[in-house]
Chain A
């Protein structure tokens, strides 16, 4: 059986873990110092060997991605951190930046050194003011103490970081849209190729990674590839933060090795479903990943297993909903989100999300027609795989899953004009903040 971990979340219970003092006292900058003494290529090789895969949703092997970055370019190389975290149900990067902002900064220095980059940006969603403030304070401390800026720790190496607040647009989490936004444009996806690795920010070579992905670097450098691979599975290695939300007893971020079953995370960390409520449907990686049911709860949370179950690991944001909750309501809620966030660049997504929302709205309203489900499916078919970026694909995920497993609920609504009787509505607030105390983690310390 897997055990909970305290690797990425190792400082979350340290009251001053967000300050430089607290950070250094708990092993901070040990990896950074070691890395600055290492050959950059050796670091890149370690990243490759570690099997680290992107934590931002797509799960692309990080070592491969960084391997595409030209080493001999006469242009500057940029390191851009994707802290846009807008995927519904996802809140892991937020807590990392709030509680351990120096980990991100140290990890950026390690990564940038490996890439020979002297300039980094943290692109953070504007609504994340509090994690942003924590980062501002950490950046100021790091500069004042020689951990950022010129001649870091006497190594002769320079690296500058700029924190850049965005202005509220989910699509800016898509990597090429992010780059356009960071260049001061509307955040709309770019045609690839060229990929950001070759022509990203200001058409220069750019490494673009999720907050959590990059924060693995220090651990890999400090503890080695074998240690790292001892967590997780062959193809999905390492520790992972799982954001559990919805109708569970203790919603929160919990760290486990990749490959831990959803059931174990749900029961041991999140305390199971709320009293009197049974698991009905869940998204394993945010609202853009196809819905699963209670039958899938023993699936290991790794990239391969979740794909085999018909969904995607996404951001590992486990959104758990009960038999008292309408899956059609969930679809409408999320579809409205995609409709609002569609950037409008391509027709399938711009028009499709609008029509999907219209149809779902009338079904839930009791005005559904018998042909509606077929129409809905057709529209989703036209959006999936035909959209310019993955937002359009993601918009169809809840609906496809819901139609596959809960078609009877849609049909009931269309036939009777109302929801089945056992759907009671919302569960009420989490309670008070104390509901989210972490269980004493017996996890292996880093």
Chain B
């Protein structure tokens, strides 16, 4: 059952839409705030709030990837393994995390610290490979750094700042946002980070290797005799 406070929020959400049923996805996010997944009680409550049958609500709840059938841990760690991330090592990141944590896709660690999942394209391919914690992005990661990240979560520490977003405070807080309710605890939001523009004070690009700017146009497209490799950084 939703708490009295969340129930009040639920009515507030329903009031925003010309048709009450439009509130169903937000309400299912709200159920995840309370239960960490879409529980049977949550389904019944949404049905009751919107005048739908439980089957109708369950049909919707089972359609969407972000609505979970099993309780999530305190944090949700998603690793993009779609191809633009995969060619940058996204699959290795997921495999390492899975091995390190001893859980597979959609698995939750024994103490309920976190749930691991591999995700489809998260729309952040310029920062491949991408890991998100509670849907805030950590870009340009690698297996070692990802392990460091989850080790911190396993110890119950607050994660370091993401490259895009606020410091994640738990999947339930994220679900509160996703229900359309804004920050659950405005005091605890931390500093917003969005990287990767000169104006954001990002560090200058390295002089060579990946990420280095090219002084001239280097046609590295297919000509065997075109400049490649070592000249890339000049």
Point out residues on A near B: beta carbons under 8 Å: 12-15, 76, 85-91, 93-94, 98-99, 119, 125-130, 132-133, 136, 162-170, 181-187, 202, 243-247, 249-253, 263, 266-268, 271-279, 287, 294-295, 297, 317, 319, 321, 325, 329-330, 333-334, 337, 340-341, 343, 426-439
Contacts and interface: CB of A to CB of B under 8 A. Distances in A.
Contacts of A337: 82, 120-121
Nearest to A430: B140
B25 A319 contact: no
B140 A271 contact: no
B166 A133 contact: yes
Contact of A435 (B86, B140, B199): B140
A263 B60 CA distance: 44
A163 to B, nearest CB: 7
List 7 A-B pairs, minimum CB-CB distance, nearest first.
A435-B211, A184-B24, A168-B65, A245-B125, A168-B66, A275-B232, A167-B64
Given A181-B25, A183-B22, A275-B231, 17 more contacts: A87-B121, A127-B135, A133-B192, A165-B29, A165-B178, A167-B28, A184-B22, A247-B87, A251-B127, A297-B221, A337-B82, A426-B86, A428-B142, A430-B126, A430-B128, A430-B139, A436-B211
Contacts of A186: 59-60, 63
Contacts of A202: 18-19
Contacts of B188: none
A165 B66 CA distance: 11
Contacts of B123: 85-86, 90-91, 93-94, 125, 127-128
B196 interface: yes
Contacts of B139: 430, 433
Interface stretch (B108-116, B150-158, B202-210): B202-210
A275 B229 contact: yes
Contact of B89 (A184, A250, A333, A429): A429
Interface in B115-165: 119-129, 132, 134-137, 139-142, 163-165
**Looking at chain B's contact residues, is the secondary structure mostly helix, strand, loop, or mixed?**
loop
A12 B197 CA distance: 8
B198 A243 contact: no
B21 interface: yes
Contact of B84 (A13, A89, A170, A182): A89
Contacts of B213: 250, 271, 437, 439
A247 B89 CA distance: 11
Interface of B: 16-19, 21-26, 28-29, 50, 59-60, 63-67, 78, 81-84, 86-89, 91-92, 119-129, 132, 134-137, 139-142, 163-166, 174, 177-180, 182, 192, 194-200, 202-206, 209-214, 217-222, 228-233
A122 to B, nearest CB: 11
Contacts of A272: 214, 217-221, 232
Given A12-B197, A165-B25, A275-B232, A434 B87 contact: no
29 contacts: A86-B123, A126-B178, A127-B122, A127-B132, A133-B165, A167-B66, A183-B22, A184-B60, A186-B59, A187-B63, A246-B83, A246-B125, A267-B218, A271-B232, A275-B209, A275-B232, A277-B220, A294-B221, A319-B84, A319-B125, A337-B82, A337-B121, A428-B89, A430-B140, A430-B210, A430-B211, A432-B140, A434-B202, A434-B205
